[in-house]
Chain A
Amino acid sequence: MEHPWAIQTEGLTRRFGARTALDNLSFRIPRGTIFGFLGPNGAGKTTTVRLLLGLLRPDAGWARIMGLPVGTEARRLVGVLLDRDGLYDNLSAWDNLDFYGRIHRLPSPNRTKRIEELLRFSGLWERRDELVGGWSKGMRQKLALARALLADPPLLILDEPTSGLDPASLKMVRDLIVSLAADRQRTIFLCTHNLAEAERICTQVGLIRAGRLLVQEEPQTLRLRMSRPQVIITTSGLSREAVMAVRRLPMVQDLAVEGADLTLTLSEPAASEAVVATLVAEGVGVREVRRATRSLEDIYLELMQEEEG
Chain B
Amino acid sequence: MREILIVTRKEFREQLRQRRDVLRYLWFAVVFGGLFPLTNMGQSREALAIGSLPWLAYAGVVTASGTTVGAFFLERQRGTLETLLATPLSDLAIFAGKVIFSLFISLLSVLAAVAVELVAVNAAFVVAPQGMRGVAGPFSFPPLICFALFVTGPLLLVYVIGASTLISLRVRSIRTANLLGLLSTLPLVVPVGLVSLVARPGLNWGFVIALTGAMVVVDAVALRVALGLFGRETVVLNIPT
Contact = CB atoms under 8 A, between A and B. Distances in A.
Interface of A: 50, 53-57, 72-73, 75-76, 78, 80, 82, 84-91, 95, 99-100, 102-104, 131
Interface residues of B, number: 25
Contacts of B14: 88, 90-91
Contacts of A103: 3, 6, 87-89
A85 B85 contact: no
A146 to B, nearest CB: 13
Shortest Cβ-Cβ A-B pairs, 4 listed: A86-B83, A84-B79, A80-B86, A53-B86
Contacts of A104: 87-88
A57 B236 CA distance: 11
B88 A50 contact: no
Given A86-B79, A86-B80, A99-B10, A55 B86 contact: yes
Contact of A102 (B6, B86, B90): B6
Contacts, number: 72
17 contacts: A55-B85, A56-B236, A73-B88, A78-B86, A80-B83, A80-B87, A82-B79, A84-B79, A88-B78, A88-B80, A89-B78, A91-B10, A99-B6, A99-B10, A102-B9, A103-B3, A103-B6
A205 B237 CA distance: 28
A75 B15 contact: no
B90 A72 contact: yes
Contact of A82 (B9, B17, B86, B90): B86
A54 B232 contact: yes
B3 A87 contact: no
A11 B115 CA distance: 62
Contacts of A131: 17
B22 interface: no
B112 to A, nearest CB: 22
A90 B18 contact: yes
B236 A50 contact: yes
Contact of B233 (A55, A85, A100, A102): A55
Interface of B: 3, 6, 9-10, 13-15, 17-18, 78-80, 82-90, 232-233, 236-237
A85 B83 CA distance: 8
Interface centre among A80, A87, A103 (most CB of B within 10 A): A103
Contacts of A72: 88, 90
Given A86-B80, A86-B82, A102-B6, 11 more contacts: A55-B233, A56-B237, A73-B88, A78-B86, A86-B84, A88-B78, A89-B78, A90-B17, A91-B17, A99-B10, A103-B87
Contacts of B10: 88, 91, 99
Interface of B is mostly: helix
A57 B15 CA distance: 32
B6 A85 contact: no
B102 to A, nearest CB: 16
A99 B89 CA distance: 12
A129 to B, nearest CB: 12
Contacts of B6: 99, 102-103
Contacts of A87: 80
A55 B82 contact: yes
Contact of B15 (A78, A90, A100): A90
A219 B87 CA distance: 31
B186 to A, nearest CB: 30
A187 B82 CA distance: 22
A295 to B, nearest CB: 33
Contacts of B232: 54-56
B239 to A, nearest CB: 9
B84 A91 contact: no
B2 to A, nearest CB: 8
A252 B17 CA distance: 71
Contacts of A76: 88
Contacts of A57: 233
Interface centre among B86, B90, B232 (most CB of A within 10 A): B86
Nearest to B10: A99
Interface centre among B15, B18, B80 (most CB of A within 10 A): B80
A72 B232 CA distance: 12
A53 B14 CA distance: 26
A89 B17 CA distance: 10
